[in-house]
Structure 1
Amino acid sequence: MFSIYKRHNNKLYNKLVELSRNKFFYQEIKLSDNFESRILLIFFHLAMIFRIGKKDKNEKKTQEIFDNIFINIEYHIRELGYGDVAVNKKMKILNKIFFDILVNFDKEKNIFDPKKTNLIKKYFLNKENGKNEKINKLANYFFNFKNYCFALDVDSMLNGSINFTYR
């Protein structure tokens, strides 16, 4: 009848949101400052964190983090005023996008090499910011983020202790 409420640790989610709000993305690269762009940035950061954390083999913890991140995203979609049906459709689409990013991270070793920016182009290239220079800057950002995360302890990284700054 009564279930035990498990308190969620939102530190990692809050850190991902903070990283996705970096002015570099919107002022220098000129990404659209909207929900979709921020979600994509969150997904790229999270996929990289999961890829690095994969070596730790802590599947239960990463599943809890995944669930928590997607619950928070669902709450924010609801706050935007979407109804139940629209939220479910949007969450299904977002899940597919995230898993596409995650699978591509696993396939390619040097995914942020300027010569291998297909994944970034797929999600961030549009008529507004279609220049290769901007894609390369975005690839460079993620390359630096990846190197920063590899130097961190996996547990502290999964708990949201990421103090990465870029410009």
Structure 2
Amino acid sequence: MIWNLFKRKKSNQALVERQYAEITRAARVPAFYESMGVPDTVLGRFEMISIHLILYLRRTGKAGEPSRALAQDIVDAFFEDVDHSIRELGIGDMGVPKRMKKLARMFYGRVQSYGQAVDAGDRQALIDALKRNLHPESGDAAPPMQALADWMIATASTVEEVPDETLAAGRLTFNASDREVA
């Protein structure tokens, strides 16, 4: 029985890699950083991967068990990637757990705040959350977040239409290019 767990993880690996690669590819579209006010920094990229992952998780949360299991594996891959990135930035072994806890709290806080705003169709709450998270020290001087909020709401709606079979196969795609984002 325990061997089935390892077997499932191994068979899901290609699906996890494909879906996580799509999430990170979509998060790197230059338009987010050039025209939507996302800072092109390590934390800005963390935020965009988080946003895409949150949109993915919102959809898979309503899907069947195979999609939800795959989603959990993708969350695990995300945090493994974050751990690796922290270490690449030169954080020592003693500092990694503390930073991982902080980043996990940040991520799950965003899952809640973005999810509630999108679910309620509350554009202004989403704009406020994006400003607070993407530009925490800018206050009223933060760049406008309307375009990013509108993109998130539209993408959440589009992702809702993705069939469960597509999710279970690790084939959810986001925007294909800057043209579709801008």
TM-score normalised by structure 1 residue count: 0.81
Q: Are 1:149 and 2:159 matched, yes or no?
A: yes
- Superposed displacement of residue 138, structure 1: 1.0
Match of 2:72 in 1: 63
Q: What pairs with 1:115-130 in structure 2 (closer than 5 Å)?
A: 116-125=126-135, 126-127=137-138, 130=142
Q: Are 1:99 and 2:115 matched, yes or no?
A: no
Q: Are 1:35 and 2:42 matched, yes or no?
A: yes
Give the counterpart letter for 1:53 in structure 2. Answer: T
Q: 1:34 to 1:115 in 2, by over 3 A?
A: closer
- Superposed displacement of residue 29, structure 1: 2.5
Q: Number of paired residues?
A: 162
Q: Which has a greater percent of helix? A: 2
Contact 1:117 1:135 in 2 (8 A): yes
Name the SS of the counterpart of 1:82 in structure 2: coil
Give the counterpart letter for 2:49 in structure 1. Answer: I
Measure, in 2, the Cα distance between the counterparts of 1:66 and 1:101: 14
Gaps of at least 5 residues in structure 1 are none
Gaps of at least 5 residues in structure 2 are 1-5
Identity of aligned residues (%): 20
Measure, in 2, the Cα distance between the counterparts of 1:114 and 1:152: 26
Please list every run of at least 4 consecutive aligned residues from structure 1 whose deviation after the TM superposition is greater than 6 angstroms: none
For residue 52 of structure 1, the aligned residue among 59, 75, 88 is 59
Q: 1:55 to 1:96 in 2, by over 3 A?
A: same
TM-score normalised by structure 2 residue count: 0.75
Name the SS of the counterpart of 1:152 in structure 2: coil
Q: What pairs with 1:62-81 in structure 2 (closer than 5 Å)?
A: 62-81=71-90
- Superposed displacement of residue 12, structure 1: 2.1
- Superposed displacement of residue 106, structure 1: 4.5
- Superposed displacement of residue 57, structure 1: 4.7
Measure, in 1, the Cα distance between the counterparts of 2:98 and 2:42: 16
